[in-house]
Structure 1
Amino acid sequence: MSTEVSIVYVLTALAALVVVLTRLRLGRDKGAGRVYVGRSLLNVHTGSGALALVAWLVFLLAGDSLSDNTEGLIGIAALALWWVVVVSGLLILVRWLPSSGRHASGGKEDTWSEGPGLSVLAHVGMLVGVCVFTWAYVTSVV
């Protein structure tokens, strides 16, 4: 197995971890950040993340046993779902932007961190990881 393929597998595991931890962290009524993250955005992040993970693993592990057209469609669908995860994750990061104004509320803290560091690391890392997935697909590394 080449180094590039190994990196894709490691990033796949990390992407799964980001999806699960985001759900665990924000699935409660008391999430960290400045504003409440609606259930629909969190559900989009979790649902598309779960579907992306399944489709991506099928693409990576069973791709050789599928026809070229089917393999290509599964890969494109998985990448599209990963990009939905990235966009929804970056939208979730908006909750950390400082709010100003007369009626602005203070930030909420949770027990996992003292600020946005964990969320920024996870979701910017997800953006980089999905860029690597896309590069690996386009250049036929995977």
Structure 2
Amino acid sequence: MAQIVVYVLTALAAVVVVLTRLRLRGAGAAQRLDVGRFWPLLHTLIGTAALVVWTVFLVAPDDSVAGGPAVGIFGLGLFWFTTVIGLVVLMRWLPSKGRHASHAQADAWTSGPWLSVLGHLGMVVGVAYFTWAYWTATV
């Protein structure tokens, strides 16, 4: 059962990485605070690497992957790094105050930050579950 949950959460992690990238592209991205281009790009690159490494760890037999369990640890590290970057990107929704602050832009996908909050806090829970599953050797 735990393996099925890990596989489903891995697929959902891919959705979060892709949707974050889609939501942040272009100048009209929904936001209050500009996080720049570096953080979303880093989120996409590290998130993609985390998905690839973690998927290789999940589907390959232990003896066929160079490094064996170390691949899983590396994948978890990449996932934790991606999650932290995602939370940094999520800060774009913090209210900006001051004379030069811009108002929130319209968002066609939601009427606010709820999709981003759901995705990124869900990633925290999902990566914590990955870590627990790895630690207890259920994957």
Measure, in 1, the Cα distance between the counterparts of 2:58 and 2:4.
11
The 5-angstrom pairing of residues 1-142 of structure 1 reads 3-66=1-64, 70-142=67-139
Measure, in 2, the Cα distance between the counterparts of 1:63 and 1:36.
43
What residue ranges of structure 2 are gaps of 5+ in the alignment?
none
Asked if structure 2 preserves the Cα contact closer than 8 Å seen for 1:23 and 1:46, the reply is yes
1:25-57 deviations in whole A, cap 9, x for unaligned? 112222111022311101110001110000001
Identity over aligned pairs, percent: 54
Measure, in 1, the Cα distance between the counterparts of 2:38 and 2:122.
23
Letter in 1 for 2:28: K
What residue ranges of structure 1 are gaps of 5+ in the alignment?
none
Letter in 2 for 1:32: A
Measure, in 2, the Cα distance between the counterparts of 1:27 and 1:71.
37
Number of aligned residues:
139
Measure, in 2, the Cα distance between the counterparts of 1:63 and 1:133.
18
Letter in 1 for 2:10: T
- How far did 1:104 drift? 1.9
1:70-124 deviations in whole A, cap 9, x for unaligned? 1211111100110111001100111111122232221112211110000000000
TM-score normalised to structure 1 length: 0.92
Measure, in 2, the Cα distance between the counterparts of 1:81 and 1:110.
29
RMSD: 1.3
TM-score normalised to structure 2 length: 0.94
Asked if structure 2 preserves the Cα contact closer than 8 Å seen for 1:37 and 1:95, the reply is yes
Asked if structure 2 preserves the Cα contact closer than 8 Å seen for 1:26 and 1:37, the reply is no
Measure, in 2, the Cα distance between the counterparts of 1:110 and 1:97.
15
